[in-house]
């Protein structure tokens, strides 16, 4: 059946602010869905309160509503659509995660959809309820003959205890209707049960939990399905969890395709998955099914089913090239799979199952360092804040590339001279998995712990462990050589196993990364690039989605066009999230508009920037020096943009500059001036701009002396960090000493910055564009909270609500002076403190900031587009007419994920902790929401 022509205007519901368990994968799915519907000439209205998303940008949807995700907003949008003669006739709630589904359900219960005659498409509420209600799901599985773990539902403490007695330990508590496993957990012993049950019941909005037998150590698999309204079903991807049952899939290292699964086992799961999806209802769209398999008997049980697109489907889309959300949106408006084309090949059918001739490894990215006191053990509740994906022509290559993408100082899987050597500590880490388990497994193997022992502690399939053992073995071999004696054969073999040049330099000793690089280049060992084409090369594909490996044939043909590379921001983490992906996407579009070829490098599978049709060419690669330089050598771009990808991209500027590669926009030396506290303060002094008194210290003694001079309280922080990492405010010598020692332990030889802290000052910031001649102030924002809370955790009001014109004028004047003096070409963000009517400059960031997308959304001005063209030099500020469309105020409101860490207090300070943000528009300062925020402005201040 071709598309249903009665659908002319669709409302897509977004997922709101980024929280743990619901991240930018829904920006990706929502954006894809919107573009897919617009291809069909369907109008799209979009609601999302998250300003940092691409989905809420005019490039994505026709009508954007940055409103709170509440039924009231939905009604407002519908009524407006009727008033303006563009009636919404359908709502697509499957693209915005649990948040969107819950909102759609609430609106349904209140009769909103019925009242306005709006059809819900792509979903079946009954199916969602069935899938979410553990008891109903279990009963349904019983009816269709699919095995599940023995379990029972409890609505009270008493019921729960009875069930536990019946099932025995270990068991699992799973609260109904929660996100990312919130409130759930394993209970190994009777003594732990009461507290766990209480937490579970409280976490569930329906005061309901499932008490289930724990199938710890069973192998875990996920299948991603798509179904059309004619009931045709395909499996897009099968994902195997490296970490077996017991760790939330969002916190598990995962691999695609499944690597230890026979065809018999796979087909059994495929059949069960289809049976389960069909038993849920008749919806057309995406679906995710999880299974556990007993490795001894190969018995399979169903774990859960999610009848919507999810984090897993975003990963599956990037892993296979098959755009699940895009196709799911087409299916929602009536198309059948066999009526659609495979978008990657352009010639074959969308009704097919992708074949991979590579391996992908996803590793989650955690941020435990931001949550002091948090339980760092991984379990049923998701704790990671982001993820990376590595693609390679072997499991090991993909694994090491994923490690190189993590940005936690890893340069691959170990081989960095930092391995652990104490077996008790390592074994404890194996038993209590945390963010570093994969690294500790390698350490254990290096120490000679057997695969069997590690398997016994972790249940990880021995095939994976044997693979890691191969790394240990080859490292011993490599260590027998020096850079002069190593053979080309061995070096090639090592590169094919994913080792970075930096790792090899550690193994060979006394050589640098650069030495290894030069040596292998001289041996002709170069990266080649392969296409992600959904079909293992069976058919030709035109979509430019590449990854690197060390095989013989290079498929990435270089065009004769002028090119610009945009460096992405890598995995989402606190302090660097989706906002930078928004900036990168706009950068790419601006480059294309300017007639250049836009090339993207990024490794975050959740993002829009890694969608295959945003850039002219996508390299799904670690944002890691070695990978970057080889792409540059191949593509020979005009230059590289580092301003849009946050600190990740910015920190590669130095090496680029040393290699003589042009940085598009502000030059490295000027960016460095802004980042170098000493030089920057000298500049401020010369420009007669006040700044808090400060000093630099390398030791505790220095630090105490500086603090005496500048006066307590002082702000202590390392240089060159992100999101206020390890930043502390201290009040006296003792606290200072502790803080400095801790910093030096984690970051030896770091220059420690000590600033006088402007107690009870007000904070404000400015984002601006500069073309070298003219400075345009994009926005002036005043923070509601006082100084001492990281700007990312502060509520920023645009324009200022309480600052005098005089102060604002002073801020603007300082910004203009600084931008011109720093030779900014492109973006700059400046942070201010205002105390006793005096304006101080605290810092300047010569790049896109967290607030750039917020301002662009609030004023409805495509600022990132303009800024990119300015940094490219193709446009001057005077070429643009910036027309601000804001009445009243816009507030950027930070959103936290503290509920994932029950032992951590919500305490805010100079280190950023929020995971996401929402935008809220208010007419005036009498707004009750604003009044409330203002009243509570100091409530969570830690010091």
Partner 1 sequence: MKIPAVLLLEDGTLYHGFGCGASGITTGEICFNTGMTGYQEIFTDPSYYGQLLVATHVHIGNYGIYEAESQSASIKIAGLVCKSFNPFYSRKIAGSSIQEYFIRENKVAIEGIDTRSLVRHIRSRGAMNAIISSEITDTDTLKKILLEVPSMAGLELSSLVSTKESYESGDPNAVWKVAALDLGIKRNIVDCMVARGMLVKVFPAKTTYREMKEWSADGYFISNGPGDPAVMDYAIETVKQILEDNQPLFGICLGHQLLALANDIPTFKMHHGHRGLNHPVKNIISGRCEITSQNHGFGVDPEAIKQSAKVEVTHINLNDRSIEGLRLKDKRAFSVQYHPESAPGPHDSRYLFDDFLLMMQEAKGVGVGG
Site membership for partner 1, residue 473 (CB under 8 A) = no
Site membership for partner 1, residue 401 (CB under 8 A) = no
CB 742, min distance to partner 1, A: 43
Binding residue for partner 1 (CB under 8 A) from 261, 276, 664, 752? 261
- 8 A C-beta contact, residue 66 and residue 857: yes
Site membership for partner 1, residue 530 (CB under 8 A) = yes
HEC letters along 65-118:
ECCCCCHHHHHHHHHHHHHCCCCCCEEECCCCHHHHHHHHHHHHHCCHHHHCCC
- Which helix (H) or strand (E) element contains residue 859? helix 852-859
Site membership for partner 1, residue 337 (CB under 8 A) = yes
CB 287, min distance to partner 1, A: 16
Site membership for partner 1, residue 179 (CB under 8 A) = no
d(CA 888, CA 798): 9
Site membership for partner 1, residue 770 (CB under 8 A) = no
d(CA 506, CA 508): 6
Binding residue for partner 1 (CB under 8 A) from 165, 267, 452, 559? 267
Binding residue for partner 1 (CB under 8 A) from 540, 711, 888, 902? 540
SS3 of 252, please?
coil
Site membership for partner 1, residue 157 (CB under 8 A) = no
Site membership for partner 1, residue 262 (CB under 8 A) = yes
Binding residue for partner 1 (CB under 8 A) from 393, 506, 627, 892? 393
CB 524, min distance to partner 1, A: 14
CB 437, min distance to partner 1, A: 19
Nearest by Cα to 187 from 210, 203, 169, 167: 169
Residue that is written with structure tokens 């490295």 in the block: 668
In this structure, the strands spanning 545-549 and 617-620 are: parallel
- Chain centroid to Cα 687, Å, comes to 39
Binding residue for partner 1 (CB under 8 A) from 28, 351, 368, 901? 351
Site membership for partner 1, residue 468 (CB under 8 A) = no
Binding residue for partner 1 (CB under 8 A) from 17, 250, 257, 412? 257
- Chain centroid to Cα 613, Å, comes to 19
Using CB under 8 A as the binding criterion, the count of chain residues that bind partner 1 stands at 55
Q: With contacts defined by CB under 8 A, name the span among 117-125, 126-134, 233-241, 606-614 that binds partner 1.
A: 233-241
> What per-residue string of b and e applies to 387-421 under the rule 16 or more CB within 10 Å gives b?
bbbbbbbbbbbbbbbbbbbbbbebbbbbbbeeebe
- 8 A C-beta contact, residue 412 and residue 503: yes
Binding residue for partner 1 (CB under 8 A) from 191, 296, 409, 883? 296
CB 3, min distance to partner 1, A: 17
Strands ordered across the beta sheet of 63-65: 63-65, 43-47, 9-13, 90-92, 119-120
Binding residue for partner 1 (CB under 8 A) from 144, 157, 536, 813? 536
What residues have CB less than 8 Å from 522, skipping those under 6 apart? none
CB 463, min distance to partner 1, A: 4
In the complex with partner 1, which residue's Cβ is closer, 352 or 712? Answer: 352
Site membership for partner 1, residue 537 (CB under 8 A) = yes
Binding residue for partner 1 (CB under 8 A) from 299, 538, 907, 924? 538
CB 234, min distance to partner 1, A: 6
Site membership for partner 1, residue 338 (CB under 8 A) = yes
CB 253, min distance to partner 1, A: 17
CB 341, min distance to partner 1, A: 10
Kindly give the interhelix angle for 437-446 and 451-458, rounded to the nearest 10 degrees: 150
Q: With contacts defined by CB under 8 A, name the span among 49-57, 231-239, 691-699, 821-829 that binds partner 1.
A: 231-239
Q: With contacts defined by CB under 8 A, name the span among 197-205, 245-253, 389-397, 827-835 that binds partner 1.
A: 389-397
First to last CA, the chain: 63
In the complex with partner 1, which residue's Cβ is closer, 155 or 260? Answer: 260
Binding residue for partner 1 (CB under 8 A) from 139, 282, 463, 685? 463
In the complex with partner 1, which residue's Cβ is closer, 312 or 607? Answer: 312
Q: Give the number of other Cβ atoms within 10 Å of residue 343's Cβ.
A: 19
DSSP assigned state of 662:
P
Cα torsion angle, 491, 495, 496, 498, sign? positive
DSSP assigned state of 19:
B
d(CA 880, CA 899): 44
Binding residue for partner 1 (CB under 8 A) from 539, 882, 921, 940? 539
d(CA 420, CA 122): 50
Site membership for partner 1, residue 352 (CB under 8 A) = yes
Site membership for partner 1, residue 234 (CB under 8 A) = yes
d(CA 491, CA 552): 15
637: left (phi over 0), alpha (psi -120 to 50) or beta: beta
Beta bridge partners of 762: 786, 834
Binding residue for partner 1 (CB under 8 A) from 3, 248, 270, 495? 270
Binding residue for partner 1 (CB under 8 A) from 355, 558, 679, 939? 355
CA distances from 673 to 480, 512, 843 (A): 44, 27, 11
Site membership for partner 1, residue 349 (CB under 8 A) = yes
| ∠ Cα 117 121 126 (to 5°) | 95
Q: With contacts defined by CB under 8 A, name the span among 226-234, 688-696, 720-728, 903-911 that binds partner 1.
A: 226-234
Site membership for partner 1, residue 738 (CB under 8 A) = no
Site membership for partner 1, residue 348 (CB under 8 A) = yes
Site membership for partner 1, residue 462 (CB under 8 A) = yes
Binding residue for partner 1 (CB under 8 A) from 156, 165, 206, 271? 271
CB 268, min distance to partner 1, A: 9
Q: What are phi and psi of 601, to 5 degrees?
A: -125, 120
Dihedral of the CA atoms 308, 314, 320, 326 (nearest 10)? 60
d(CA 158, CA 717): 51
Site membership for partner 1, residue 222 (CB under 8 A) = no
In the complex with partner 1, which residue's Cβ is closer, 5 or 349? Answer: 349
Site membership for partner 1, residue 293 (CB under 8 A) = no
CB 217, min distance to partner 1, A: 13
d(CA 378, CA 409): 21
CA distances from 661 to 559, 562, 599 (A): 19, 15, 15
Dihedral of the CA atoms 483, 489, 493, 495 (nearest 10)? 50
CB 317, min distance to partner 1, A: 17
Site membership for partner 1, residue 263 (CB under 8 A) = yes
d(CA 821, CA 806): 22
Q: With contacts defined by CB under 8 A, name the span among 178-186, 357-365, 704-712, 906-914 that binds partner 1.
A: 357-365
Binding residue for partner 1 (CB under 8 A) from 217, 295, 678, 772? 295
d(CA 339, CA 322): 16
In the complex with partner 1, which residue's Cβ is closer, 358 or 840? Answer: 358
User: Per-residue string for binding with partner 1, 542-561, x by CB under 8 A?
Assistant: ---------xxx-x------
In the complex with partner 1, which residue's Cβ is closer, 256 or 864? Answer: 256
Site membership for partner 1, residue 523 (CB under 8 A) = no
Q: For binding to partner 1 (CB under 8 A), which residues are involved? A: 230-232, 234-235, 238, 257-264, 266-267, 270-271, 295-298, 336-338, 347-349, 351-359, 393-395, 461-463, 466, 530, 535-540, 551-553, 555
């Amino acid at each position: 059946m071709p598309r249903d022509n009665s659908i002319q205007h669709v409302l897509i519901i977004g997922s709101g602010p980024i929280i743990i368990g619901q991240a930018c994968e829904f920006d990706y799915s929502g954006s894809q869905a919107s573009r897919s519907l617009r291809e069909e000439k369907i109008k799209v209205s979009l609601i999302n309160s998250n300003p940092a998303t691409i989905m809420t940008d005019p490039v994505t949807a026709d009508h954007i509503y940055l409103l709170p995700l509440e039924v009231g907003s939905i009604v407002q949008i519908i009524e407006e659509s009727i008033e303006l003669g563009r009636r919404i006739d359908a709502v697509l709630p499957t693209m915005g995660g649990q948040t969107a589904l819950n909102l759609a359900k609430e609106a349904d219960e209140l009769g909103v959809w019925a009242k306005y005659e709006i059809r819900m498409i792509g979903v079946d509420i009954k199916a969602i309820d069935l899938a979410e209600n553990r008891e109903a799901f279990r009963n349904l599985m019983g009816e269709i003959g699919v095995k599940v773990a023995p379990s029972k539902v409890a609505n009270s403490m008493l019921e729960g205890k009875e069930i536990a007695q019946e099932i025995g330990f270990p068991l699992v508590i799973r609260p109904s209707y929660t996100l990312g496993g919130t409130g759930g957990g394993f209970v190994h012993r009777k003594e732990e049960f009461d507290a766990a049950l209480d937490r579970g019941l409280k976490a569930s909005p329906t005061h309901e939990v499932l008490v289930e037998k724990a199938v710890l150590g069973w192998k875990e698999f996920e299948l991603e399905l798509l179904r059309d309204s004619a009931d045709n079903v395909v499996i897009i991807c099968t994902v195997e969890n490296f970490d077996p049952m017991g760790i939330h899939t969002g916190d598990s290292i995962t691999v695609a395709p499944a690597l230890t699964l026979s065809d018999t086992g796979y087909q059994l799961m495929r059949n069960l998955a289809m049976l389960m999806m069909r038993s849920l209802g008749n919806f057309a769209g995406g679906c995710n099914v999880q299974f556990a398999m007993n490795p001894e008997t190969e018995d399979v049980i169903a774990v859960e089913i999610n009848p919507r697109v999810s984090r897993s489907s975003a990963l599956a889309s990037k892993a296979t090239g098959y755009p699940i959300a895009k196709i799911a949106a087409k299916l929602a408006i009536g198309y059948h799979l066999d009526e659609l084309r495979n978008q990657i090949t352009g010639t074959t059918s969308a009704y097919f199952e992708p074949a991979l001739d590579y391996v992908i490894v996803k590793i989650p990215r955690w941020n435990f360092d931001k949550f002091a006191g948090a339980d760092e053990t991984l379990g049923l509740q998701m704790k990671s804040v982001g993820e990376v994906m590595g693609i390679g022509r072997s499991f090991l290559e993909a694994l090491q590339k994923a490690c190189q993408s993590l940005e936690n100082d890893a340069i691959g899987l170990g081989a960095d001279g930092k391995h652990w050597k104490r077996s008790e500590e390592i074994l404890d880490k194996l038993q209590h998995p945390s963010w570093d388990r994969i690294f500790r497994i390698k350490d254990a193997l290096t120490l000679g712990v057997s695969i069997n022992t590690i398997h016994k502690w972790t249940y990880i399939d021995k095939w994976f462990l044997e693979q890691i053992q191969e790394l240990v073995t080859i490292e011993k071999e490599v260590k027998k050589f020096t850079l002069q004696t190593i053979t080309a054969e061995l070096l090639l073999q090592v590169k094919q196993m994913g080792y970075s040049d930096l790792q090899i330099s550690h193994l060979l000793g006394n050589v640098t990364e650069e030495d290894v690089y030069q040596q292998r280049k001289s041996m002709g060992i170069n990266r080649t690039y392969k296409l992600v084409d959904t079909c293992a090369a069976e058919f030709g594909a035109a979509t430019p989605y590449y990854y690197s490996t060390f095989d013989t044939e290079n498929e990435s043909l270089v065009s004769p066009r002028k090119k610009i590379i945009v460096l992405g921001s890598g995995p989402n983490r606190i302090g660097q999230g989706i906002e930078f992906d928004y900036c990168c996407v706009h950068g790419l579009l601006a480059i294309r508009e300017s007639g250049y070829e836009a090339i993207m490098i990024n490794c975050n599978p959740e993002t829009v920037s890694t969608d295959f049709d945003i850039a002219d060419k996508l390299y799904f690669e670690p944002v890691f020096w070695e990978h970057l330089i080889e792409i540059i050598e191949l593509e020979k771009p005009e230059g590289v943009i580092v301003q849009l990808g946050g600190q990740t991209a910015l920190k590669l500027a130095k090496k680029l500059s040393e290699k003589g590669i042009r940085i598009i926009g502000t030059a490295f030396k000027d960016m460095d001036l802004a980042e170098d506290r000493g030089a920057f303060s000298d500049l401020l002094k010369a420009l007669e701009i006040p700044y808090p008194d400060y000093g630099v210290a390398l030791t505790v003694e220095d630090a105490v002396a500086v603090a005496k001079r500048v006066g307590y309280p002082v702000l202590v922080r390392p240089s060159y960090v992100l999101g206020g990492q390890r930043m502390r405010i201290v009040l006296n010598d003792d606290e200072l000493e502790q803080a400095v020692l801790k910093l030096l332990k984690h970051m030896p030889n770091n220059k420690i910055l000590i600033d006088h802290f402007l107690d009870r000052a007000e904070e404000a910031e400015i984002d601006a564009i500069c073309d070298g001649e003219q400075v345009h102030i994009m926005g002036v924002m005043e923070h509601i909270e006082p100084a001492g809370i990281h700007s990312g955790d502060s509520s920023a009001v645009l324009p200022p609500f309480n600052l005098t014109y005089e102060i604002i004028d002073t801020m603007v004047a300082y910004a203009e002076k600084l931008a011109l003096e720093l030779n900014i070409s492109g973006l700059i963000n400046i942070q201010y403190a205002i105390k006793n009517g005096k304006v101080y400059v605290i810092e300047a960031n010569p790049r896109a900031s967290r607030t750039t997308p917020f301002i662009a959304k609030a004023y409805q001005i495509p600022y990132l587009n303009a800024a990119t063209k300015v940094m490219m030099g193709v446009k001057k500020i005077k070429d643009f007419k910036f027309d601000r469309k804001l009445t009243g105020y816009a507030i950027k409101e930070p959103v936290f994920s503290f509920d994932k860490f029950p032992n951590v207090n919500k305490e805010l300070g100079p280190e950023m902790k929020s995971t996401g943000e929402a935008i809220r528009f208010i007419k005036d300062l009498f707004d009750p929401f604003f009044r409330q925020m203002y009243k509570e402005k100091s409530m969570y201040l830690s010091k």
